[in-house]
Chain A
Amino acid sequence: MHKSLKIGMTASALGALVALGGLAPAQAAEDVAKLSVFHGVPGLTVDVYVNDKLTLDDFKPGDLAGPLDLAPGTYKVAITASDAADASAPAIGPVDLPLEAGKNYTAAAHLDEAGKPTASLFTNDISQLAAGEGRLTVRHVAAAPAVDVLANGAVAITALVNPKESVLTLPAGTISAAVAATGTTDPVIGPADVNVAEGTNTIVYAWGSLTDKNLALAVQTIDGLHSNPDSIPAGEAGLVATNQADDSMGLMVGGFAAVLMGLVAAVVGMRRLSAARR
């Protein structure tokens, strides 16, 4: 499932692509920009050049690379055929990607609505989620007109167009997701189960081409966005308390008296209950 792409790079490219694979572990998370790359152009294995240096070799459709930890700045990305000798004749780009520190990005190579290869830079929402919630991001990067996204059969997103995204916050759990032409419910993709995991941004890409009948869903996840429960109230009777009732009441009442009081209260409560029933 996991595989590795070799990156060939010179010392100057290393200067630009800092903190790759733990090369600069001192760099704090808020000081770097994170960049993933999604390949959504069907049938085209490519090379990806960053600042004219080969960064992803033989990158295949449907694959996701990264995230790379990069120093903030603007990076020039060119995507070439996989047999190109350099970045001088790109199939897509070159495009300038301005990356800010502390942010998380995905650059997607994909088709535009008309089916022409292009590239888009998406900023991934990594804001913290409430405990129990998951985030679902849907991105339309397919050669297809506007779509609706159905979650468990109900329309969740309407009129999403290439290359836009829609972001939902949902109770964590698995949904059945389908994509249909806007205003319709007949799926062109799916339905498929998508785990909207708690504390995670689950990013779903609708990619491929409607006319070529190779529309598909791809998924990228960014976890660690969770919040935690704020307490565990795990007792209500005081039966194993290390103190007795008087300790916290500030009264000089012994344990026996506390039990008596409890009995009295119970009896009073029962009388009130039976009185109320009458």
Chain B
Amino acid sequence: MRATVGTFTVLAVALALLTGCSSAPSTSSPTAYVPPTNAAPTPTPSAPLPVAEVDVPTVSSSLDQNQTPQARPPQTIRVDSLGIDMAIESVGLADDGAMELPKDPSLAAWYRFGPSPASTTGATVIAAHVDSLIYDIGPFAQLASARAGTEIVVTTDDGQERRYSVESVQTVVKQDVPWDSIFDRSGPNRLTLVTCGGEFDYYARTYLSNVIVSASPIA
């Protein structure tokens, strides 16, 4: 310490006096000086440093903290400009590997194995029959006339309203629908509404296309 003082100017002498003062009272005081002098270099963990610090994500693996959380089901869907106001059922799969749908076209269905509006990522898929031999035409028949910017409100089981704005409305021939991206569980949280439309095969009694509405959350 004194050697350095000798090599410095008056200012340094003043500094040396400070350190001299601080080291004199006790051995604990010098440690008080370490944090400020260390504080400058540490915020820049530059590559050439021999020691790097990396975080490994660590969680408690207890059952009450590390299980896959139950999704929060959407319960109603409203599109005021199209006169749509429907209850939503939680559904899984039909026997043939298709998404299960209620027979009644006035009921919408949410694919419960995929994301929900409360999920941080992925597409919430809500679908409904466009029509039925028993129940006639359903509200989702109006989806074909949705436009970019049409507002959709989905209410989840916690009572929270989640608003979406339509980005696109597409009628896609069923064989060409990219189901893996429709049911995508990654990427930003978004809403995808699906029904049938386009031309009808009067022999097979099935529509040839799906009408697909893509919507993004309104911040």
Contacts and interface: CB of A to CB of B under 8 A. Distances in A.
Nearest to B135: A237
B218 interface: no
Nearest to A2: B59
Given A194-B67, A230-B97, A233-B98, 13 more contacts: A6-B55, A8-B51, A20-B54, A20-B56, A229-B183, A230-B179, A232-B195, A233-B101, A235-B195, A235-B200, A237-B137, A239-B137, A240-B130
A172 interface: yes
Given A233-B206, A234-B128, A241 B198 contact: yes
What size tier do the contact residues of chain A reach?
35 or more
Interface of A: 1-11, 14, 17, 20-21, 23, 38, 55-56, 59, 62-66, 68, 131-132, 172, 174, 192-195, 197-200, 202, 205, 216-221, 223-224, 226, 228-243, 245, 247-249, 258
Contacts, number: 209
B52 A9 contact: yes
B182 A238 contact: no
B136 A64 contact: no
A205 B62 CA distance: 10
B205 A238 contact: yes
What size tier do the contact residues of chain B reach?
35 or more
Given A229-B93, A231-B97, A238 B57 contact: no
B113 A232 contact: no
Nearest to A17: B54
Given A21-B55, A240-B130, A194 B113 contact: no
Contact of A64 (B51, B58, B133): B58
A271 B213 CA distance: 43
12 contacts: A21-B54, A62-B62, A63-B60, A131-B113, A194-B63, A197-B68, A229-B93, A232-B99, A236-B132, A242-B199, A248-B199, A248-B202
